[in-house]
Amino acid sequence: MVCGLGVVLLVLGLFIAPQAPQKDGIAAGIGIAIATNTIESRSLAVSSDPLETIRVRSSAKSKPAETETETETETTEPLQQPPLKLFLMVGQSNTVGHGFVDVKDDETGSFRNGTLEHMVETDPETYGKLKTRDQNGTVRWTERDDVWITYNRQYNKVTEPESNQQGPLAAGFGGDQTFQKQGKPGWNPKNPMYDVPGHEIGPELGFGWTIGDAMGKQNHQNEKGGVEILLLKVAWGGKSLHEDFRPPSKDSDDLPTGRYYLAVLANIRQTLSRLSDIVPGYTDDRGYEIEGLAWNQGWNDGLTDEAAFEYESNLADFIRDIRTDLEIPDLPVVIGVSGMCGWHLDQNKKRKDRLNAVIEAQFAVANYPEFEDSVASVETRDFHREAMPYSPGDEKYHWNNNCESYWLIGKAMGEAMVDLVLWREAIRGGHQR
């Protein structure tokens, strides 16, 4: 679903203008569930009952109705910020992100093609905003003052809820702890800073800048302080939807609900309990609203026939189940398709067929009638860049470690998310097609 300019102009004010958040899970006039702060537990895979239900809802409170009086008096209400807007980013290693930020060429000492540093140097009109000069004259990566991020950043076999990196959105929230030391399997000699915090990006940078520019207070000030955004990024490398993120609806004796599906819920729950530690000035009476989920995953399901050809059914159930567990039945979901190999897939026909099946499934789910105007798939194959020397690395499954690819993926997913969220706000405000 793509909203036209007229729809965006119509509903932009609806999203940004402060409105009394709904109560008891009922949206104004049309009975759509909204998030509240009731939380029950479906937290960890180690739970005695792995399918115990978690309820994660928005803590935003409705303003009590004022009693009418015969005497008219003018009152000035204290300014109150709108609820914090949360966006979930979930997936495997291309949500983790392995775009090399600042790797230099061994011979010339220049930043390699496709690093974020090279992008800023060669296209300052587009990417110059990503760097800023502070009061001391030091040039550093720009930190947004309206978009925050928390990221689990874990070894890919750890599922306990953690936030190992958080702060204002800036370059450097990619990589994980999986291959952090030289000599470990997967260590990449082409980038000695591989998986060291601050030296890699994923789609969060382009996604967060796009969401922030469209909705954040930095560009859309209003009388109550504007909107602040939190990206809740939860991702592990090398994980499949078929097994690791397997949704509860697909639970069976042979393939139970995935540990990493449960870990996503546990991470959400933990984050919601400590928002004041992540976003400066946040207080519980301000509230929050979970606005959408960005899903970027698929490579591992393209490795086996069974996983590839069940991907469509598994993804549809994943969306249904995550909406049920969050109690947000109209939660916007954006899918970044698995286009890391571009339009010219691997020459191995079997592998090509499987990855094509995953991509076709990712597009098909967004066209389900039940997901109309609430799920969108984003084409990403155009963002493929060839390996070195055109990119800073040669990991084709990680977009050849090209930061431009990761930026464009995040930007495209952010644009699709803005359309879905603004359209939902228009529907809740009583505007129809």
Domain boundaries, the chain: 5-58+80-428
Measure CA of the first residue to CA of the last residue in the chain; give whole Å: 13
pLDDT tens readout for residues 356-398: 999 999 999 999 999 999 999 999 999 999 999 999 999 999 9
- Closest by alpha carbon to 34, among 289, 304, 271? 289
Flag whether pLDDT at 295 surpasses 90: yes
Structure tokens at 433: 């097609």
CA distance 427 to 369: 17
CA distance 190 to 180: 13
Flag whether pLDDT at 84 surpasses 70: yes
Question: What is the DSSP code (8-state) at residue 288?
Answer: E
What's the burial of 125, exposed, middle or buried (CB within 10 Å: 0-12/13-18/19+)? exposed
Helix, strand, coil percentages for the chain (3-state, nearest 5) = 35, 10, 55
Flag whether pLDDT at 56 surpasses 90: no
> What pLDDT is attached to residue 62?
37
User: What is the pLDDT averaged over residues 21-48?
Assistant: 33
Confidence of residue 338 (pLDDT cuts 50, 70, 90): very high
> What pLDDT is attached to residue 190?
57
- The dihedrals phi and psi of 288, each to the nearest 5 degrees, come to -145, 160
CA distance 416 to 398: 22
CA distance 362 to 313: 10
| pLDDT, the chain, mean | 83
Q: What does 244-258 look like in DSSP terms, one character per residue?
A: TT--GGG--SSSPSP
Pairing of strands 375-378, 131-133: unpaired
> What pLDDT is attached to residue 428?
80
- The dihedrals phi and psi of 157, each to the nearest 5 degrees, come to -110, 5
> What pLDDT is attached to residue 427?
80
5-58+80-428 — its CATH code? 3.40.50.1110
> What pLDDT is attached to residue 360?
98
- CB contact at 8 A, 81 and 225: yes
Flag whether pLDDT at 47 surpasses 60: no
pLDDT tens readout for residues 271-292: 999 999 999 999 999 999 999 9
CA distance 394 to 376: 30
Confidence of residue 219 (pLDDT cuts 50, 70, 90): low
> What pLDDT is attached to residue 226?
61
Flag whether pLDDT at 433 surpasses 50: no
Question: What is the DSSP code (8-state) at residue 245?
Answer: T
Interior angle at CA 157, CA 156 and CA 161, nearest 5: 85
> What pLDDT is attached to residue 188?
58
User: Is pLDDT larger for residue 33 or for residue 276?
Assistant: 276
- The dihedrals phi and psi of 74, each to the nearest 5 degrees, come to -95, 130
